[in-house]
Chains A and B, each alone.
Chain A
């Protein structure tokens, strides 16, 4: 069994769908962080069987909206003095920038350099987003 210490202050992103932990790690740019981060892959879970978990020490000012697009089933716990002081419910953001890429080869974003990829939420239940430029519809897959 692998043990990772609990953190006294920071964020724990729990119940990440197995396989998506590394994606979230990348999107939050945690590889460039100067604080301690633990990415746990395929941890045993009573609820789901397996899960990924991210423990981020000290930093509680991350922009977590992107989680709503990548994996809205996660739970985010804010830790202070080794206790969970807040549970954040993640919901899909109304708009996202530079998270997804439009796959429409006819879209201006496919050829023009420097265009910020922008998407707007179309349907909360289906987690569908629409490219702000060409209107193509995508589901949460990033």
Chain B
């Protein structure tokens, strides 16, 4: 039984299989509409979500499957103090696959030790978000035609940004990847990403504090939100929340084929005036998120 807990759980070959399957789903959606008939997916969202939960649920429904679960802990026995293993074992009695989001880092991994059905990590605190990485990699592949040889600017909250951590780990395995890490000093990438991924694998990276000083060198600009829910101290959040705002003026010196990505939701970090720029790819990215999750569900349920 396979779980998807970390973005490194899938090899490059497995990723390629998923991308090829996703392309076929996009082109021949009807072919896949019953492949998960009589299958049930449990969605356990201990933390709010729009895109991830909806895209998982939409993906399962489009494959002919059904869904049970909760979107807030208040409507489940978790609010009565039920432990993760007890919840997982119970849902595992009914569901064939469990999708889990949790505010605590490592919670889906702990759940996977106790589960008799596959677990997909749909985001754990400020740690990892492997299915967002699948979405990001697919978006890059679809827009750029390849994932290799890209200079990627990651901007905003690189400390608590779980999508950033998962993406750096996974995309570092492709050749010719360079990173420009744009953040205030307080929100730099965690030590384990710096040491274990970037330094250990000799991946070129620079750390800067403004978008302007590096935007002309980027093939991809990955914007992130400074996440209020990750701060214990609101004053720190208020001080840092609007550090970066991408607008038309900042994009003037950017490459014509730059792809602007964002895992969404955004607050102020991308001005709405950028939405009409052909380089803005974040809503396209949200749609790819559903298709790649369809492919992932098929693979994890061994439905074809």
Q: CB-CB < 8 A to A112: which residues of B?
A: 83-84, 104, 107, 110
Interface size on B, residues (CB 8 A): 22
Among the stretches A20-28, A67-75, A86-94, A131-139, the one at the interface with B is: A131-139
With contacts A113-B83, A130-B192 taken as known, whether A135 is within 8 angstroms of B127 at the C-beta atoms is yes
Interface residue? A114 (CB, 8 A): yes
For the complex, what is the distance from the CA of A66 to the CA of B107, rounded to whole Å? 26
**Which of B104, B126, B192, B232 is close to A108, meaning CB atoms less than 8 Å apart?**
B104
Interface residue? B89 (CB, 8 A): no
Do A132 and B109 have beta carbons less than 8 Å apart? yes
Q: CB-CB < 8 A to A134: which residues of B?
A: 105-106, 125, 127
For the complex, what is the distance from the CA of A74 to the CA of B118, rounded to whole Å? 44
Interface residue? B213 (CB, 8 A): no
Interface residue? A107 (CB, 8 A): yes
For the complex, what is the distance from the CA of A114 to the CA of B81, rounded to whole Å? 14
For the complex, what is the distance from the CA of A105 to the CA of B196, rounded to whole Å? 22
Shortest Cβ distance from residue A99 to the other chain B in the assembled complex, whole angstroms: 17
For the complex, what is the distance from the CA of A93 to the CA of B69, rounded to whole Å? 41
For the complex, what is the distance from the CA of A20 to the CA of B265, rounded to whole Å? 49
Interface residue? A45 (CB, 8 A): no
Do A106 and B110 have beta carbons less than 8 Å apart? no
Interface residue? B195 (CB, 8 A): yes
Interface residue? B191 (CB, 8 A): yes
Residues 51-83 of chain A: 1 if any B CB is under 8 Å from the residue's CB, otherwise 0?
A: 000000000000000000000000000000000
**Which of A108, A113, A131, A132 is close to B107, meaning CB atoms less than 8 Å apart?**
A108
The contact size tier of chain A is: 20 to 34
- A107 (CB) vs chain B CBs: closest residue: B105
Q: CB-CB < 8 A to A33: which residues of B?
A: none
For the complex, what is the distance from the CA of A36 to the CA of B167, rounded to whole Å? 55
With contacts A112-B84, A113-B83, A135-B127 taken as known, whether A107 is within 8 angstroms of B196 at the C-beta atoms is no
With contacts A108-B84, A133-B105, A134-B127 taken as known, whether A122 is within 8 angstroms of B196 at the C-beta atoms is yes
Residues 120-133 of chain A: 1 if any B CB is under 8 Å from the residue's CB, otherwise 0?
A: 00100000001111
Q: CB-CB < 8 A to A113: which residues of B?
A: 83
**Which of B83, B109, B192 is close to A133, meaning CB atoms less than 8 Å apart?**
B109
Shortest Cβ distance from residue B263 to the other chain A in the assembled complex, whole angstroms: 19
With contacts A112-B83, A114-B83, A133-B110 taken as known, whether A106 is within 8 angstroms of B196 at the C-beta atoms is no
For the complex, what is the distance from the CA of A122 to the CA of B193, rounded to whole Å? 12
Shortest Cβ distance from residue B42 to the other chain A in the assembled complex, whole angstroms: 19
For the complex, what is the distance from the CA of A96 to the CA of B103, rounded to whole Å? 25
For the complex, what is the distance from the CA of A122 to the CA of B196, rounded to whole Å? 8
Interface residue? B173 (CB, 8 A): no
For the complex, what is the distance from the CA of A133 to the CA of B84, rounded to whole Å? 14
Shortest Cβ distance from residue A60 to the other chain B in the assembled complex, whole angstroms: 33
- A109 (CB) vs chain B CBs: closest residue: B106
**Which of B84, B106, B190 is close to A107, meaning CB atoms less than 8 Å apart?**
B106
For the complex, what is the distance from the CA of A130 to the CA of B106, rounded to whole Å? 12
**Which of A105, A107, A132, A137 is close to B195, meaning CB atoms less than 8 Å apart?**
A137
Known: A108-B107, A132-B106. 17 other contacts (CB 8 A): A106-B126, A106-B230, A107-B105, A108-B84, A108-B109, A110-B104, A112-B107, A113-B83, A114-B85, A122-B196, A131-B106, A133-B110, A134-B106, A134-B125, A135-B192, A137-B191, A137-B195
Residues of B within 8 A of A (CB): 83-85, 102-107, 109-110, 124-127, 190-192, 195-196, 230, 232
User: Top 5 closest A-B pairs, CB basis?
Assistant: A133-B106, A134-B105, A108-B104, A108-B106, A108-B107
